[in-house]
Amino acid sequence: MTATDLAATDTPGTFQPAWWLPGRHAQTIYPSLFRQPPEPPLTPETFTLRDGDWLRLAWGPPGEGLAVIGHGLGGHTGSAYVRGVVAELARRGIGSVIMQSRGAGDEPNRHRRSYHAAAWDDLEEVVTALAQRNPQQPLAVVGFSLSGSMLLNWLAERGDAPVARAVAVSVPFELDRCADALEQGFARVYQAYLLRRLRVMAARKFAERSDAPVPAERIRRIRRLREFDDLLTAPLHGFRDSADYYQRASCRQRLGAIRQSTTILHAVDDPFVPETTIPESAELGPGVTLELQPSGGHVGFVTGRTPSRPDYWLDTRIADVLEPALRTAPSPGT
């Protein structure tokens, strides 16, 4: 069965794109540039990791259960798509916390390393610690884009993760082919956008350090994501080069090992992810449901009747998937 066939059959929550945002690029660009981030009250926490480094947590309003939400490459606690999920969960009386990966955001972390698609050790440490803080509280994890890949890798490697439900959104299933896709045609705009953020992050980290893998001037001249991964991601995280990183960190090869209840939300027309890299149903583990939509772009999925009142389908769909697993008591009226 092809990805297109799956998109026509495996859609329990059907997405209807806004008529005024036709096509993959409009769906991808509009929320990135024009969505006003929701402003749920967030309480910051500095989470100290076992190796002496740290990352930032941002707690949403308390409620039943807890959803840990991870951002994509270049994202942070202020990203509109993560705040949108926090706001929707809070509206339903469900708790959440945003996990900002080490090295992300405005303040450099202590160590040379940062985050990448296979850096599930930090995710495991955070989830384990939160489960220990409140053993009776059901936990879920949501990962967008690169964090979705991190999440799926972790679930495959750790068969007994303390997670009641997981959701991965717009996942780069094969990193090498996604990197190639971002060098073709209009998608080069996305590559340039990501690299601007990554170069700033790397320059800030190594501005006052003497152990940068390459000089600051070389970082400023990086123009390809593959080049960034060759010069920085790979040497900082124990990979031989970008090809080694892409091969070892891609999640598609591990999906069959996932046993926990996991939903993957994805659009066939995702401009970051070639359709041929979307896994077939036979590749999925017994816990995995792949919900494919024909359209939606990359972390897009914008609906709504008019441009003045856009709706963000991912917020409600993610909450719909998580709510039954996180509620410890029946909802009023049920």
Residue of 145, 170, 242, 261 with catalytic role: 145
Instruction: Give the C-alpha separation, 246 to 156, whole Å.
Output: 17
CA 177 to chain centre: 18
Look at phi and psi of residue 333 and say left if phi exceeds 0, alpha if psi is from -120 to 50, else beta: left
- Check: CB of residue 311 under 8 Å from CB of residue 285: no
Q: Which amino acid is at 86?
A: V
Instruction: Give the C-alpha separation, 304 to 123, whole Å.
Output: 34
Which stretches of the chain are assigned E, i.e. beta strand? 43-48, 54-59, 64-70, 94-100, 139-144, 165-169, 262-267, 288-293, 302-303, 311-312
Residue of 122, 176, 230, 270 with catalytic role: 270
Instruction: Give the C-alpha separation, 56 to 265, whole Å.
Output: 26
Q: Residue 300: helix, strand or coil by DSSP?
A: coil
**Residue 237 appears among annotated catalytic residues:** no
Q: Residue 58: helix, strand or coil by DSSP?
A: strand
Nearest to 36 by CA among 81, 69, 73: 81
Nearest to 95 by CA among 60, 71, 128, 69: 60
Phi, psi of 172 (to 5 degrees): -80, 90
Nearest to 148 by CA among 72, 92, 207, 34: 72
Residue of 96, 147, 298, 315 with catalytic role: 298
Instruction: Give the C-alpha separation, 328 to 228, whole Å.
Output: 45
Instruction: Give the C-alpha separation, 268 to 299, whole Å.
Output: 12
- Check: CB of residue 68 under 8 Å from CB of residue 139: yes
**Residue 270 appears among annotated catalytic residues:** yes
**Residue 122 appears among annotated catalytic residues:** no
Instruction: Give the C-alpha separation, 248 to 80, whole Å.
Output: 30
Residues assigned a catalytic role: 145, 270, 298
